[in-house]
Structure 1
Amino acid sequence: MTHQDSSTQKLETASEQEEEEEYCCCWCCCCIAKGMQSIIDALTGGGNGGQKRREIKGTVVLMKKNVLEFNDFNASIVDRFDELFGRGVSLQLISSVHGDPQNGNKGKLGKAAYLENWIPTIAPLKAGETSYDVTFEWEEEELGIPGAFLIKNNHHSEFFLKSLTLQDVPGEGRIHFPCNSWVYPAKRYTKDRVFFTNKSYLPHETPLPLVKYREEELAALRGNGEGELQEWDRVYDYAYYNDLGDPDSGADKARPTLGGSAEYPYPRRGRTGRPPSKSDPNVESRVPLLMSLDIYVPRDERFGHLKLSDFLLNGLKAIVQVVKPELEALCSENRDEFDSFDNVLKLYDGGVKLPGGPTLDNLWKDVPLDIINAIFHTDGERILKYPLPEVIKESRTAWRTDEEFAREMLAALNPVVISLLREFPPRSKLDSKIYGNQDSSISEEHIRHHLNGLTVGEAIKTNKLFILDHHDTLMPYLRRINNNTASKTYATRTILYLQSDDTLKPLAIELSLPHPDGDKFGAINKVYTPPPADHKEGSLEDTIWQLAKAYVAVNDSGYHELITHFLHTHGVIEPFVIATNRQLSIIHPIYKLLHPHFRDTMNINALARQILINGGGLVELTLYPGKYSMEFSSSLYKYWNFTEQALPQDLKKRGMAVPDPESKHGLRLLIKDYPYAVDGLDIWSAIRNWVADYTSLYYKTDEAIRSDAELQSWWKELVEVGHGDKRDEPWWPKMQNRDELIESCTTMIWIASALHAATNFGQYTYSGYMPNRPTISRRFMPEEGTPEFEELRENPERAFLRTITARLQTLLGISLIELLSTHSSDEIYLGQRDTAEWTADLEAAAAFERFGKALTEVEERIVERNGEEQLRNRYGPVKIPYTLLFPTSEAGRTGKGIPNSITI
């Protein structure tokens, strides 16, 4: 039987596949070619001119393009024919010792070697790693020690190259090359792909034969700034947020470009190079929703293959394409209202019945059934039978208490806004020439009876008064929001008193509106105070106070999602991802330090621009600023300061801590039981100690920082381009000494890991029950003599629910946050790496091991604190222990765990 006959027969019958594959392995053209080469080498002395030559055995680990998930079965078959005709996967080792004068003194290349036994393995039905042998011929005296290798993929489909490991290399022993990159067919590249060993080199320490390879690889990653980028491109580049609007679909879908102007400053995002829209040449055209996976990000930045990654992608699209239209129809039939808290609770007890009938026929056919069932909790007749949020698990009413309302400012989703009240009454920082008098109307008379005998001055002096201030941030947008969206809301100030047990008590809430005659006339303020201690629950006084707290929660929810969560983590980190890949070589020690903290971030941000933060997207549908949501976010970026994102600096800025050399971490918290700060400072210190230990291995002096060309280019580009709208701010570190490097890297890691975890993974816990954290208010506080006021008196629950988030927005919102509160099964947590061989530097590996042990000790302390009942802010009336900064977690919605990076 000829080789061609064998190949044909294998395609004709699956039952003989195993037998035929074994036959092919024994008699394929690759084997014949290898035998012929051995004869030639024997006749010619091995083609090495008498040089000492030996074979180096290697192992390549890769993952073939998955057949089922990527619909690439045909390419897999074609790849087998490529192997038969000698067009397989070739690798060439590169010398780190000897340069080739005829090739610009780049490291000399060894002979091409090919992966062995590719043919017997068709790409598996499920994504999985496969190991292949490879044998290199290496002329020891001529080439020395390999420091990199080239790879050429002559197949028709890409594969994920995980690693190459060489055994028994003369003079070196074992050499490992961590690759972790998609390798496309060679025709997609102008140069062969290069990979380096796991050794770290500062630029001036790089072996000379590897210098140009290092430089060329960075040049390839930067690209030329032109054209539409394709999936096989590896280019990291910058663009404005000019892809949020869709003017081609109508003027109501147009949105301003964020970034590149004083009016709308913003961090940069990854460039896609898509053509402009037809209606506006300055706006990038949008990708159709069904093609959400086709948004360009460098392939190595895309999500992995595990089910929960696709769960995320399909889940977000399904919310938009399935749940939204179904719920719009349902809510329209039911007047878009909840009538009582019991009605809300039915979401967790019975779910929502589909208006189209008791089948799944209405659901998007492209979403697999198991994903529909998992995301939407459907039994065929009902969808969205949500799990009970923790905030109402122990008690259905504890969320209504003043203690819980205040505690969540310290230990829930947005613990980064509350600050010490330094002057009374609170004063506005808005320009009075534009906005008139915006100072607070809260007077001493409003609060003096709740200060335990202190005067306001004494309470200020003894650090007893705190404020949650959402006035100045919102007031410039409030008139437009209230006039041009469905929202009817206020700018709020909340004054709180620190009690002897370290809990906070709200004393007064101020609700403010722009003056009806114009901004220059200042604000119209109204102050609300808690009902008397002997008030009856459900009384008119109690309901008005509950509504006042709801308006505060609406402000805080919007600020949390748009500023704390998206802008201050997702948005600000993306320029760091881009700059690091463009300017720091993969063998640069700072690249190795930071790279794990950038995983999946560009992909989730691209998906957010497509589905969540775009014009008409889920964020605009579910948050009170509506179509002004991202503009509002831009207005707050004006006040972003990188150095103040460091946790100690943030706490001092807000007056929540003061310097104290005798205290742990050098700070004394003014509220000792401040869970976010207490646990956060432990995490911050562990990160900083790790960064300091690691960087000290490579930078012995400040001059080493200043003379590192890659590091200086990285920082310059990050400041001047990535955060170009903030380039002239004086607070940027100059990157001239080791302290600046340590503090900057610690801050980046903190933002990407702990800050994001603390503000993301508890979303369903606290906001899954919308009355606790409403996102929209639809009408103003009722005035006496109006029908709304009578409704408030006669049916307070219905009046409350008709004021806050409507039914449609509630269902969409909690569908989204349940998805976003979930850890994927491939999560890598702080203190972990995807491989133990990320570095060849034993001292660096030992420092990382110490970091992991430090985080284990932090976990133990968190468990101990959560067991101390006197620390009432750690669990509160709702009995939820504070675990949002607990480093590790299992997959799923756990309310704990700090992933290395912003993966969701």
Structure 2
Amino acid sequence: MFPECLKRLFSRSQKVKGRVVLMRKNVLDFNNLTSVVGIVGTSKSLIGSAVDGVTSLMGKSVCIQLISATKADANGNGIVGKKAYLEGIIASIPTLGAGQSAFNINFKWDSDMGIPGAFIITNHMNVEFFLVSLTLEDIPNQGTMHFVCNSWVYNYEDYKQNRIFFVNETYVPSETPGPLVTYREAELQALRGNGTGKRKEWDRVYDYDVYNDLGNPDSGENFARPVLGGSLTHPYPRRGRTGRKPTKKDSKSEKPGHVYVPRDEIFGHLKSSDFLSYGIKSLSRSFLPAIKSIFDLKFTPNEFGSFEEVRELCEGGIKLPTDILSKISPLPVLKEIFRTDGEDNLLKFSIPHLIQVNKSAWMTDDEFAREMIAGVNPCVIRLLQEFPPQSKLDPSVYGDQTSKLTEEHLKINLEGLTVDKAIEGQRLFILDHHDVFMPFLTRLNESKSTKVYATRTILFLKDDGTLKPLAIELSLPHSGGQHLGADSKVILPANQGVESTIWLLAKAYVVVNDSCYHQLISHWLNTHAVIEPFVIATNRNLSVLHPVYKLLFPHYRDTMNINALARQSLINADGIIEQSFLGGKYSMEISSEAYKAWVFPDQALPADLIKRGMATEDSSCPNGLRLVIEDYPYAVDGLEIWDAIKTWVQEYVSLYYATDDAVKKDSELQAWWKEVVEKGHGDLKDKPWWPKMQTLQELIQSCSTIIWIASALHAAVNFGQYPYGGFILNRPTLSRRLIPEKGTPEYDEMTLVNLSVIEILSRHASDEIYLGQRDNSPNWTSNSRAIEAFKKFGKKLAEIETKISERNNDPNLRNRTGPAKLPYTVLLPTSKPGLTFRGIPNSISI
């Protein structure tokens, strides 16, 4: 309830003075980056100017009515006050952000109306604006009351019910002031919608659908793709429902086109301009064929004939004739891709971090192994606990897929140990991509452009704490049929002659596997796709007044929108991923197969490390875990981040839930979790590993895991992509040929050719918000203890940042920098904008 002191403040009739902060449409609109006139005007008309980014509202265009949290009408609902209108502009407010405008508003509020707890806003204009906040300022001797809004407000006729915003108090459902209960429930119902109809731009509805919009069968059989989700064959997390019409040839598939995203999930202007600028550039190698047809350029941008060509691309760019520049200038989007400052370079990329110090270290065995624990995909390597490695593929379908590796292959490099002794001493590790790709190899290798193996790589932990590769197994389906097992060859390390080239090529095949696994599973599936159901369920079931909503909301920023953009351009039929990675048209099916083995509790870093055999529980260690590889940069840094997240979550959640019984009795919380499991991840709903959400610890662990996935895990597998993969020879994404057999001319003329490439976004936007930070409003909650706990979280992250930097300067920790002299910085919590190879954003926003 509201404090007694506030109640006394409203014991007499008075005017309540307020301040409204908003932004014009042309400041933030993702779909309209060009300038539009201001939002000002009388009802259904526009006047005004965009001069200095300040808009003046006059007349009766925007109306606000306060709602009492302590006084109810005859129906038990909070009393609604008289209409008040925005009055003019506050000339200078130092705290206002770019593009924000503040307006005075005065409310008539009688003493018998109690204390405000919500308000209704009505927009009479025919253009939307972004409502930032309302502050009630002239409450004597008390300070202010804050209503943090951050929402688009359209014309009132676009809504079926009033737009309502709540004060920044925090209540579990049972503690909600009685007069606000109906309003709280009505707002959630509006966000759920009715599950029918095509969603409109101004809608705010969060609902579920399967991935049935990746293909377009109406354009031909080659563009048809299976529906992912809703079946045991192709299970998948759910995405946001748009309600578009089905295709003509397949009633289960949805027509492509504009993808609806709830309006408040759409990028702001700063984020979108960064996405356009760097996103288009990073995808431009696939975009170049279209440009080629316009400009008749005489080169093949998807092919490289030598290492030198790749280096020239990184260090100098592809040359563009000067007469082409005149053709670019009329095309604003292309100007984001091409340099137009007088130089004749086309696509001049940043030099990838990997080759800034040493241009050849990437080729060494040491760097090849180091990147498995400190590279862009450091969460797949596992302890080898059986030899030879076993397959989990169904032998009735795939035959015997047991590894052909033998002790003879390994013992030459085991420093005197037997395989059994090395396993017993936890010295052997495996990067195993065999089972993931083997079921798809027959279909993949039928393609003229793709030839690939399924790989297993065995590594040995040396006395100095670094890893060295011992052997690589390359496998194909048996030539007599896939059901007969695998045809495998084992490649051993070599440093001279043709054998050294074969070894280098074998490592490339491993990286091709790993690049595909990383992009489709570690990155897309395990962060982007699995988090979207949580975003949807949270908005549908947890009120903005709910403590768990306030905890999780920052970690959902922009995720639905970036996922929608991915479905349009990246993971769609013939999109960037299909064109550039070995999975081709089966890419999303590969990720669907991997989802069958996804386990939510195992996404927590400690559980993941234990499951992979990379750590054991040990109460004497700082994190309660003993790492098998002590110098494992991803795990060492990650565990500190994980502990900070969990400590923050525990301190925050404990402010609102004192007992397990309180968790059980929270109706919104229980509805939220039920929907996450049964709808959002409905294809896995019967799995026994789902937390039951019956205890405080289950709530803490689940929320910590969600935050970890959306922040640190995503950062770890995303922001190292260009630093490591920008030099494509280090992270090839496709292989065009198999290894030639001995005796063939190709065997003696071995070289790496035709490795296709993609530059993936690794940049931070200029308006990014990082872990331990919140948006521009410090008034996200009125709970002082919650604010103090959050400040403590931020200080802990700052300490971790210092410790990571110190570790990177410790010469005894050889895995921190490796032969390439590339420090592992990706889990440093903060960052400046741009390509920094560091920084943990709150959410999956790119």
Report TM bin, short chain: over 0.9
By how many angstroms is 1:379 displaced?
5.1
**1:74–1:702 Cα change, 3 Å:** closer
TM-score between both structures, scaled by the size of structure 1: 0.87
- 1:91 aligns with 64
- 1:790 aligns with 748
Query: Which amino acid is 1:94 matched to?
Result: I
SS, match of residue 161 in structure 1: strand
- 1:129 aligns with 100
- Show the 5 A alignment for 1:187-586: 187-287=157-257, 294-306=258-270, 308-313=271-276, 316=279, 319=283, 322-326=287-291, 333=299, 337-354=303-320, 358-363=323-328, 365-368=330-333, 371-373=336-338, 381-484=344-447, 486-531=449-494, 535-536=495-496, 539-586=497-544
Query: Whole-Å Cα distance in 1 between the matches of residues 836 and 72 of structure 2?
Result: 54
- 2:51 aligns with none
Query: Whole-Å Cα distance in 2 between the matches of residues 740 and 637 of structure 1?
Result: 23
Equivalent in 3, 7, 17 of residue 57 of structure 1? 17
- 1:851 aligns with 793
**1:552–1:842 Cα change, 3 Å:** same
Equivalent in 769, 782, 785 of residue 727 of structure 2? 769
By how many angstroms is 1:438 displaced?
0.3
- Conserved in 1, the CA contact under 8 Å of 2:532 and 2:560? yes
**1:396–1:253 Cα change, 3 Å:** same
Query: Which amino acid is 1:557 matched to?
Result: S
By how many angstroms is 1:326 displaced?
3.2
Matched, 1:800 2:763: no
By how many angstroms is 1:519 displaced?
1.6
- 1:35 aligns with none
- 1:833 aligns with 774
Matched, 1:713 2:671: yes
Query: Whole-Å Cα distance in 1 between the matches of residues 194 and 235 of structure 2?
Result: 25
**1:761–1:315 Cα change, 3 Å:** closer
- 2:613 aligns with 655
Describe the superposition over 1:75-102 as per-residue Cα deviations: whole angstroms up to 9, x where unpaired: 655234999995311111111001111x
SS, match of residue 372 in structure 1: coil
- 2:148 aligns with 178
Q: Greater helix share, 1 or 2? A: 1
Query: Whole-Å Cα distance in 2 between the matches of residues 211 and 79 of structure 1?
Result: 37
Query: Whole-Å Cα distance in 1 between the matches of residues 825 and 90 of structure 2?
Result: 50
Query: Which amino acid is 1:800 matched to?
Result: L
Query: Whole-Å Cα distance in 2 between the matches of residues 669 and 676 of structure 1?
Result: 11
Query: Which amino acid is 1:158 matched to?
Result: E
Query: Whole-Å Cα distance in 1 between the matches of residues 333 and 305 of structure 2?
Result: 34
Query: Whole-Å Cα distance in 1 between the matches of residues 468 and 580 of structure 2?
Result: 29
By how many angstroms is 1:382 displaced?
2.5
- 2:599 aligns with 641
SS, match of residue 436 in structure 2: coil
- 2:842 aligns with 900
- Conserved in 2, the CA contact under 8 Å of 1:378 and 1:384? no
By how many angstroms is 1:874 displaced?
0.4
- 2:764 aligns with 823
By how many angstroms is 1:485 displaced?
5.5
Equivalent in 112, 117, 126 of residue 83 of structure 2? 112
Query: Which amino acid is 1:556 matched to?
Result: D
Query: Whole-Å Cα distance in 2 between the matches of residues 144 and 761 of structure 1?
Result: 51
- Show the 5 A alignment for 1:138-177: 138-140=109-111, 142-169=112-139, 173-177=143-147
**1:446–1:362 Cα change, 3 Å:** farther
SS, match of residue 781 in structure 2: coil
Query: Which amino acid is 2:388 matched to?
Result: P
- 2:52 aligns with none
SS, match of residue 779 in structure 2: coil
SS, match of residue 675 in structure 2: helix
- 1:30 aligns with none
**1:676–1:83 Cα change, 3 Å:** closer
Describe the superposition over 1:749-792 as per-residue Cα deviations: whole angstroms up to 9, x where unpaired: 00000000000001110000111111001000111222311321
- 2:5 aligns with none
By how many angstroms is 1:392 displaced?
1.0
Aligned residues: 816
- Conserved in 1, the CA contact under 8 Å of 2:276 and 2:336? no
**1:585–1:370 Cα change, 3 Å:** same
Query: Whole-Å Cα distance in 2 between the matches of residues 336 and 746 of structure 1?
Result: 42
Query: Which amino acid is 1:862 matched to?
Result: I
Describe the superposition over 1:336-389 as per-residue Cα deviations: whole angstroms up to 9, x where unpaired: 6433222221112331134x763235549543465234xx68856331122211
Query: Whole-Å Cα distance in 1 between the matches of residues 379 and 276 of structure 2?
Result: 30
- 1:876 aligns with 818
Query: Whole-Å Cα distance in 1 between the matches of residues 611 and 583 of structure 2?
Result: 27
Query: Which amino acid is 2:337 matched to?
Result: I
Query: Which amino acid is 1:455 matched to?
Result: T
Describe the superposition over 1:199-253 as per-residue Cα deviations: whole angstroms up to 9, x where unpaired: 1000000000000000000000001111111111000011111010011211111
- Conserved in 2, the CA contact under 8 Å of 1:377 and 1:384? no
- Conserved in 2, the CA contact under 8 Å of 1:485 and 1:626? no
Structure 2, unaligned stretches of length 5 or more?
1-9, 49-54
- Conserved in 1, the CA contact under 8 Å of 2:663 and 2:696? yes
Query: Whole-Å Cα distance in 2 between the matches of residues 193 and 737 of structure 1?
Result: 35
- 1:686 aligns with 644
SS, match of residue 755 in structure 1: helix
- Conserved in 1, the CA contact under 8 Å of 2:128 and 2:155? yes
- Conserved in 1, the CA contact under 8 Å of 2:288 and 2:301? no
Structure 1, unaligned stretches of length 5 or more?
1-49, 288-293, 793-798
SS, match of residue 446 in structure 2: helix
Query: Whole-Å Cα distance in 1 between the matches of residues 40 and 334 of structure 2?
Result: 27
Describe the superposition over 1:150-209 as per-residue Cα deviations: whole angstroms up to 9, x where unpaired: 110111111101001112336964210000001111111122211101110000000000
By how many angstroms is 1:295 displaced?
2.3
**1:480–1:326 Cα change, 3 Å:** same
Query: Whole-Å Cα distance in 2 between the matches of residues 69 and 638 of structure 1?
Result: 41
Query: Whole-Å Cα distance in 2 between the matches of residues 335 and 95 of structure 1?
Result: 64
CA-based RMSD of the aligned residues comes to 2.3
Query: Which amino acid is 2:72 matched to?
Result: G
- Conserved in 2, the CA contact under 8 Å of 1:277 and 1:283? yes
By how many angstroms is 1:642 displaced?
0.3
Higher mean C-alpha deviation, range 476-485 or range 437-446? 476-485
**1:736–1:670 Cα change, 3 Å:** same
Query: Which amino acid is 2:810 matched to?
Result: E
Query: Whole-Å Cα distance in 1 between the matches of residues 617 and 806 of structure 2?
Result: 26
- Conserved in 1, the CA contact under 8 Å of 2:633 and 2:815? yes
- 1:670 aligns with 628
Query: Whole-Å Cα distance in 1 between the matches of residues 596 and 546 of structure 2?
Result: 32
